[in-house]
Amino acid sequence: MAAEHASIDALGQFKLHTVLGPIGASVNFTQSNLLMVIASALILALMYFGARPRAVVPGRLQAAAELAYDFIYRMVSDQIGHEGRKFFPFVFTLFFFVLFGNLLGLLPFSFTYTSHIAVTAALAITVIVLVTIVALAIHGLHFFSYFWPSGAPIALAPIIVPVEIISYLSRPVSLSIRLFANMVAGHVMFEVFATFMVMMAGAGAVGYVGAVGPLAMNVIMMGFELLVAALQAYVFAVLTCIYLHDAVHLH
Amino acid sequence: MARRAFAVVAGGMVAGAALLIQATPARAGEGMPQLDFANPLTLAQVVWLGIIFFALYLLLSRWALPRVAAVLESRAAAIAADLDAARGAKEKADTAVDELTRATREAHANAQAEIAQAVAIAKQTADAQAAEMNARLDAQIAAAEGRIAQARAAALGALSQVATDTAREVVDRLVGGGIDNATVSRAVADVLAARAA
């Protein structure tokens, strides 16, 4: 497609369009949402079929499901503490929703819903709203002492308080942009190198040899993107846990 | 450190992507589709995201995760029960070993006592036998000494008789009779007594 225009269209892959024919069009159901449904179905399938054998010595799938459960459970208990157990399902959902979104996006003809700032921002705002509600519910108005580090001289209040408030409000921004930017960057690079490859191949026999370069680059990129996909999901979940820890314990 | 290194790499990637996007001869009116909020689909996907995410959360928290938790708990319970059983068996084995040790020690002590008793009895018996033997030997010695004394007395009696007879003979030869037996025997007895003294 890009080769036909003889230019690099790195951003066309992020364009949304409705799926499932007229039904999808009538409710604005996009390929992004279809991937969300597939990711959710895969997560549920992993946990369902993983837990079904109920074996004392787990098979491979059961071990995967238990590992997934244990990984997030340990993360939540380590980061938040004992009170964190009740946030476990939320962090689990968040981590695997992001992880499967990132990984499914790496499949050909697929779509990465985490490459949309609207999606990552919605998730980040959900996190920050939850964190604020939890903090207010546990500590009441005492929550606002969070913006005042204990022991700071009162004269510095006009500087410290706005800084603290801004840093608090910048959390969802950094949380959403980090994930969004990582995903977009990776997929743009894929598209760019793939287009180079097609353009070179179009240049004849010499081009075929030259196209090996971008191809090798994309193979390496794929390995790197797998790392990024897992790491960004982990970062998103860990930061959520850290924010929840702050909300539960205040400082 | 890894996270910082990663942040640098990621930052570089974002910068590179931004350069590429700038370098892209984008068609007029086309920026990032992600920032095209005029497109109703951009925000519609967020509404669907809310529905799907909430549904996933409910299904996971109410249905899927408790199932996994149940499997993990049953395993933990099985392991705990096995450990308890093992601990019980070990306790039983320990008490059995203790009993065995005590029984061995008791048997050992009993054997020692019996040995000591047997040795004492044997010693007593030996002592008694030795005493009896000594008594018998003493008696035999005493009897032998008695016999020796008797024989000696007899010999001494015979000697005084011979001496008396010899003395009278000698006196008779020298002085020709006229001396009675009593005088001779008294003189011989005096001389013998003086010798014996």
pLDDT digit string (tens) for B117-154? 999 999 999 999 999 999 999 999 999 999 999 998 88
Question: Taking CB atoms and an 8 Å limit, are A15 and B71 in contact across chains?
Answer: no
Instruction: Say if residue B16 is exposed, middle or buried (CB neighbours under 10 Å; 0-12, 13-18, 19+).
Output: middle
Q: Looking at CA atoms only, how far is residue B114 from chain A in angstroms?
A: 59
Q: Could you give the CA distance from residue B93 to residue B118 in angstroms, rounded to a whole number?
A: 37
- C-alpha A236/C-alpha A232 separation (Å) is 6
Contacts of A9 in chain B (CB under 8 A): 24
pLDDT of res. B11:
52
pLDDT of residue B29: 44
Report d(CA B103, CA A19) in Å as an integer.
Answer: 85
Name which of B9, B34, B51, B67 to mutate to probe chain A: the one with the most chain A Cβ atoms within 10 A of its Cβ: B34
Q: B21 pLDDT exceeds 50?
A: no
How many CB atoms are closer than 10 A to CB A123? 24
State the pLDDT at residue B28: 37
* Strand partners for A30: A18
Residue A178 is predicted with a pLDDT of 94
Positions of chain A with pLDDT lower than 70, given as ranges: 1-7, 251
Residue B78 reports pLDDT greater than 60:
yes
pLDDT of residue B169: 84
A154 CA to chain B: closest CA distance, Å?
A: 34
Of B6, B47, B64, the CB nearest to A48: B64
A29 Cα to chain B: minimum distance (Å): 7
The arithmetic mean of pLDDT across residues B71-92, rounded, is: 94
Residue B24 backbone phi and psi in degrees, to 5 = -65, 130
Chain B residue numbers with beta carbons less than 8 Å from the beta carbon of A62 are: 71
Name the token pair of A44: 């549920």
Contacts of B68 in chain A (CB under 8 A): 47, 50-51, 65-66, 69
Per-residue pLDDT of B156-171, as tens digits, reads 888 878 888 888 888 8
The per-residue pLDDT for range B26-35, each reduced to its tens digit, is 443 467 888 8
Q: How confident is the model at residue B186 (pLDDT cuts 50, 70, 90)?
A: confident
A152 near B CB under 8 A: no
pLDDT recorded at residue A211: 86
Q: Tell me how many residue pairs between chain A and chain B have CB atoms under 8 A apart.
A: 161
CA gyration radius, chain A: 22
Mean pLDDT of B18-32: 52
In 3D, which of A106, A117, A61 has the Cα closest to residue A229?
A106
* Cβ partners under 8 Å of residue A233, min gap 6: A95, A96, A98, A99, A102
Q: Among A212, A100, A89, A11, which Cα is nearest to B31's?
A: A11
What is the DSSP secondary-structure string of B125-160? HHHHHHHHHHHHHHHHHHHHHHHHHHHHHHHHHHHH
Residue A151's domain comprises 2-249
CB contacts of B20 in chain A (<8 Å) are 8, 10, 188-189, 192
CB of A51 within 8 Å of a chain B CB? The answer is yes
Contact residues on chain A for B71, CB-CB shorter than 8 A:
51, 54, 62, 66
Helix (H) and strand (E) counts in chain B: 4, 0
Residue at token pair 């395993």 = B75
pLDDT (0 to 100) of residue B70: 92
Asked if the C-beta of A71 comes within 8 angstroms of chain B's C-beta atoms, the answer is no
CB of A217 closer than 8 Å to CB of A106: no
Q: Which of A32, A56, A62 sits opposite B45 (nearest CB)?
A: A32
Check B60 against A18: CB less than 8 A apart. Answer: no
Amino acid at B16: G
Q: How many helices (H) and strands (E) does chain A have?
A: 9, 0
Q: Cβ separation of B56 and A9 shorter than 8 Å?
A: no
Number of domains in chain A: 1
Q: Would you place residue B7 in the very low, low, confident or very high pLDDT band (cuts 50, 70, 90)?
A: low
